[in-house]
Amino acid sequence: MTPEENTTLLNMWFKRKTQQTHFLCKHVKYVAGVHSGERLPSPSTTEGTIIGITEQNKQELDCPSSNWVQFQDSCYIFLQDTIKVESIEDVRNQCTDHGADMISIHNEEENAFILDTLKKQWKGPDDILLGMFFDTDDQSFKWFDKSNMTFRKWTDQDEEEEDLVDTCAFLHTATGEWKKGNCEVSSVPGALCKAAIPYEKKYLSDNHILISALVIASTVILTVLGAIVWFLYKRNLHSGFTTVFSVAPQSPYNDDCVLVVAEENEHAVQFD
């Protein structure tokens, strides 16, 4: 296929795809291939490189990338590669390598969100390893991310079972309940990770909007005040000119001079 045919094919594909509301390309290697002489993939191959941007994606601007899903103040990702492990720490390392930690769940809404996302988007397995460990110091389960254990959803059986040192917790995706299991597994079908939204994105973005609003408001106020001051200045200046030209002519004589002249005129009349 000639470079001209490659360009025509690419333009046809691009025109057809841009008729969608939103789209995102995974990579742009194919566009560069038109100029570098690389073979352009067929439309069927290129079809898989398009990822639609939904309304949910638009709300994930605070997460590291579009592969993450945001819920409330946290971002979530399911690393679907099968992980060969010797301990739960190996699974946790998969999350920490992405700047996150293993999943912790703190209310019914978060638990339901994870179940829904696993079914509709991540297509996860039946059981997901939770980021929980058994602390032998106080004989209780704790979250790896050091958050408080404020929510529990154990099955009735696991609620009554005695906790063991090598006991891990799993989320059963069919029911949403938690169950206990042996930590000694050779592999897990992925790692579910969670990361808090960074402080600067969570708070400073709102502060930036507030600061911008204050700057705009201050500018408007200063403009209005400046217009008022200019109006008053022009009005006073006009009033000054009017006063100068409207004053009546003054007599060259003061009151004493007028009185003396009047008396002299009176004496002159008497002598006549």
- Name the more confident of 226 and 8: 226
Instruction: Please name which of 78, 59, 65, 56 lies closest in space to residue 129, comparing C-alpha atoms.
Output: 78
Domain assignments of the chain as residue spans, ordered by start: 3-51, 65-197, 202-255
pLDDT at 115 over 90: yes
For residues 172 and 179, the answer to whether their CB atoms sit within 8 Å is yes
- Residue in the block written with tokens 């490659």: 6
What is the rounded average pLDDT of the residues 244-262?
A: 54
99: left (phi over 0), alpha (psi -120 to 50) or beta: left
Q: Please, which pLDDT band fits residue 235 given cuts at 50, 70 and 90? A: confident
Q: Please, which pLDDT band fits residue 250 given cuts at 50, 70 and 90? A: low
pLDDT at 255 over 70: no
pLDDT on residue 213: 72
For residues 78 and 191, the answer to whether their CB atoms sit within 8 Å is yes
In percent, how much of the chain has pLDDT > 70? 58
* pLDDT, tens digit (0-9, with 9 covering 90-100), for 199-222: 545 444 445 566 667 788 888 898
What is the rounded average pLDDT of the residues 106-124?
A: 91
Measured CA to CA, the distance from residue 154 to residue 132 in angstroms comes to 13
pLDDT on residue 241: 57
What is the rounded average pLDDT of the residues 108-127?
A: 90
pLDDT on residue 103: 95
Helix (H) or strand (E) holding 187: strand 187-188
- Residue in the block written with tokens 């400046």: 226
pLDDT at 232 over 90: no
pLDDT at 89 over 80: yes
* Strand, helix or coil for residue 257: helix
Helix (H) or strand (E) holding 143: strand 140-143
> Is the pTM higher than 0.85?
no
* pLDDT, tens digit (0-9, with 9 covering 90-100), for 29-73: 333 333 334 443 443 333 333 333 344 444 445 788 888 999 998
Task: Of 22-26, 175-179, 234-238, give the range with the top mean pLDDT.
Answer: 175-179
What is the rounded average pLDDT of the residues 176-195?
A: 88
Q: How many residues does the chain have?
A: 272
Q: Which two tokens stand for residue 97?
A: 């390598």
Measured CA to CA, the distance from residue 113 to residue 76 in angstroms comes to 10
* pLDDT, tens digit (0-9, with 9 covering 90-100), for 129-162: 999 998 888 888 999 999 999 999 998 877 766 6
Instruction: Please name which of 206, 199, 208 lies closest in space to residue 73, comparing C-alpha atoms.
Output: 199
Mean per-residue pLDDT of the chain? 71
* CB burial of residue 114 (10 Å; 0-12, 13-18, 19+): buried
In percent, how much of the chain has pLDDT > 90? 25
What is the homologous superfamily of the domain 65-197 according to CATH?
A: Mannose-Binding Protein A, subunit A (3.10.100.10)
For residues 53 and 23, the answer to whether their CB atoms sit within 8 Å is yes
* pLDDT, tens digit (0-9, with 9 covering 90-100), for 259-272: 555 566 665 555 55
Q: Please, which pLDDT band fits residue 179 given cuts at 50, 70 and 90? A: very high
